[in-house]
A and B are shown apart, each in its own frame.
Chain A
């Protein structure tokens, strides 16, 4: 009996030593991202590394956009320490003063371009809006630029574009001959005029990535302005669909630390770790998105055949341009109203 009691006491002691003590020392960092397969990839590629290096536990939540962050900050006690947003969402939150300024350590990480970060935000993932088409329809001559989207004589057939001024206005100006580096600030009058020319051929203004995929797959349309991942997924499924990275619009998702976040110092450290090239590179192992840090492509972690399909690989990135997050943060509201008027007419 006595032996049993001793043994139990020992086990109990061991259990306390093994669990309670480190738990008391271990801090929790709450990260909110887009959820699903996307967040799972981030967990594998990044969160696990951060947990190990900082000795913290990462608690995950999901966000559906800027409104969440605004609400958290407005409440005065944000429960999220680190939030993933789209690039103009980040720029918008930064502009509104809803973010904590990033530390010099983060902004000093080499390899992340200046147009992919701001005072209070920094990009971590890159995808792109690209021109994709049905190879069954265009067997010989393939489209290669936004101008071809407008060229319904050489490339007859239905088109689909996103139901948003973002991308649509840029593609119109590029089709009209504006060089990529001179796009911003957008000449919106010229863009809408050019859009007018393609309007009757746009069968569907897509509202979701899934819809853009579906209309291309069903051959409702023959050519699409579509996210590269969506077109690539169709090709993987065996659909005869191709895309070009030429004149691609690079889009990023990015981190912000909500103003007043409880563990903001820890959050800053986490961002710094996740921005390092060798950590950044890991994301490409788990999902079809590219790292925002171009140095990641020199780490040897991303194989050349994978890099060839990523918008942010140096080879592909130079064919396109980075969407101006600050421009859209400032003009999204007004231009969306104009755009809605345009498509309804």
Chain B
């Protein structure tokens, strides 16, 4: 590349030959890039595309051939209720993550580097701990004779222990804890790129700090916000372990129904159909969000 550029710079008398050389080089580069990405492409093909194709296939066949029976099955009220719970829980967790995560990311972005690292470390530290361990930790904290209830009782705030776990509340608490880093990290990344000059300019033009924050800062942080919201919401939709352990059995998530289909009914067709439904809903949400916000903004956040 350098050689070709040097030749051009040198005068370009043999410009035709140079162009030829450039083109060849560009070709070669494209080929080697392709060769480099080939392993990844093959991997994605084999472990993502083919299994998903297989999933679609399984959801539409039974012993006698093509069938919609697996999808008809999902019309039973128990599945509709589970779908509702799944969305309610994902929505609740996303909102709580937003309320907790935005101020935290903002704080981290405003602090001097060393303190910001400390805050981020606190966010990341649980992230590196096993999900199962954290879930059991919440069980220890929230159960009837757990730390929270014991303290509240000792302080005389409550008389009878509160039911903090084995229900929707406990599940939402546990999931929020696990999902929080997914909200904070993209937000922090975006907020770090927002120049303070914008806020100063806004102040200079007479905006109050609050107005400047809402009209300048929040819109500028939107790419990170959208990324965080989507990641938290979509991951929450597919949650299994935490609701299974903290939900007391009565909080049924879509993933738990999939498990039911494979282990209780041994019905792979129905399980596949449920997988397809969740996948389609998730893709639908992503499409909707990208339409609403413009895909460019989402791209920026990466």
Interface positions of A (Cβ within 8 A of B) = 64-67, 70, 158, 163-164, 203-207, 211, 218-220, 332-333, 336-338, 340-341, 343-345
Contact = CB atoms under 8 A, between A and B. Distances in A.
B262 A67 contact: yes
B82 interface: yes
Contact of A344 (B81, B145, B264, B268): B81
Contacts of A65: 263, 266
Residue in B81, B85, B250, B265 with the greatest tally of chain A CB atoms within 10 Å: B250
Contacts of A164: 264
Given A203-B248, A204-B166, A345 B263 contact: no
A218 B244 CA distance: 18
A4 B265 CA distance: 66
Nearest to B163: A203
A218 B145 CA distance: 8
Nearest to B80: A341
A336 B260 contact: yes
Contacts of A218: 143-145
Contacts of B145: 218-220
Report the interface size class on chain B. Answer: 20 to 34
B76 interface: yes
11 contacts: A64-B263, A67-B266, A203-B163, A203-B166, A205-B248, A218-B143, A220-B143, A333-B267, A340-B78, A343-B250, A344-B251
B265 A336 contact: yes
A333 B78 contact: no
Contact of B252 (A66, A204, A206, A340): A340
Interface of B: 76-78, 81-82, 85, 143-145, 163, 166, 244-245, 248-252, 257, 260, 262-268
A205 B78 contact: no
Given A65-B263, A70-B266, 13 more contacts: A64-B263, A66-B266, A67-B263, A67-B266, A163-B249, A204-B166, A218-B143, A333-B265, A336-B260, A340-B257, A341-B76, A344-B85, A344-B252
A234 to B, nearest CB: 16
B82 A344 contact: yes
Contact of A340 (B260, B267, B268): B260
A218 B166 CA distance: 13
B256 to A, nearest CB: 9
A341 B248 contact: no
Contacts of B260: 336, 340
B81 A207 contact: no
B142 to A, nearest CB: 10
B224 to A, nearest CB: 35
A70 B244 CA distance: 27
A234 B250 CA distance: 25
A204 B252 CA distance: 13
Nearest to B146: A218
A205 B250 contact: yes
Contacts of A158: 144
A67 B244 CA distance: 22
B265 A204 contact: no
B81 A345 contact: yes
Contacts of A332: 264-265
Nearest to B76: A337
A207 to B, nearest CB: 6
A206 B249 contact: yes
A220 B166 contact: yes
Nearest to B252: A344
Nearest to A66: B266
Given A70-B266, A158-B144, A336-B265, A341 B78 contact: yes
B249 A220 contact: no
A333 B69 CA distance: 14
Contacts of A207: 244, 249
Contacts of A203: 144, 163, 166, 248
Contacts of A341: 76-78, 81
Contact of B78 (A211, A220, A337): A337
Nearest to A338: B78
Nearest to A203: B166
B177 to A, nearest CB: 20
Nearest to B251: A344
